[in-house]
Amino acid sequence: MSAATALSAATDASAATVRSIYRQLLRQSSQFSNYNFREYARRRTRDAFHEHAGVQDERQRQELVQKALSELAILKRQTVVSQFFQLDRLVVEGGKSQLTALQGKEGHGGIVRQKEPGWT
């Protein structure tokens, strides 16, 4: 096996690893119960990977992969914590199912809570 072939194989494996981490980060970010946190994590992941897409230095690539893995561990912990504090769904998340049923009724002003506040 020539050096060029070995380098190409290593680059392919590295690219597959990076894609795998990217998908894991996006998948994990979708686990946030809060819409704003969920979208922020997705946007931050996409922006960071697009910003560093052209990095050629192998050492810098390895540092970025290590940073992404540590970010993934942080994201996993944060999504677990966020699931303990679930709030009402926002309208942009499709949280208006009861809103459409009560729009014609008086006294509601079009605002309806989907679940009671406080401990459940």
pLDDT in tens, 20-53: 999 999 999 999 988 889 999 999 999 999 999 9
State the pLDDT at residue 6: 45
Q: In this predicted model, what pLDDT tens digit does every residue of 94-118 receive, in sequence order?
A: 765 545 555 555 555 555 555 555 5
Q: Has residue 3 got a pLDDT over 90?
A: no
Please tell me the pTM assigned to this model.
0.66
Report CA-CA distances (Å) from 111 to 34, 64, 103, 118, 119: 19, 46, 9, 18, 21
Q: If you write DSSP's letter for every residue of 86-112 in order, what string do you get?
A: --PPPGGGTTTHHHHHHTTSTTSTT--
Do 65 and 13 contact (CB within 8 A), yes or no?
Answer: no
d(CA 1, CA 87): 57
The structural domains of the chain, with segments of one domain joined by +, span: 15-87
What are the tens digits of pLDDT across the range 58-77? 899 999 999 999 999 999 99
- Residue entry with tokens 């994590």: 41
Question: What 3-state class would DSSP assign to 48?
Answer: helix
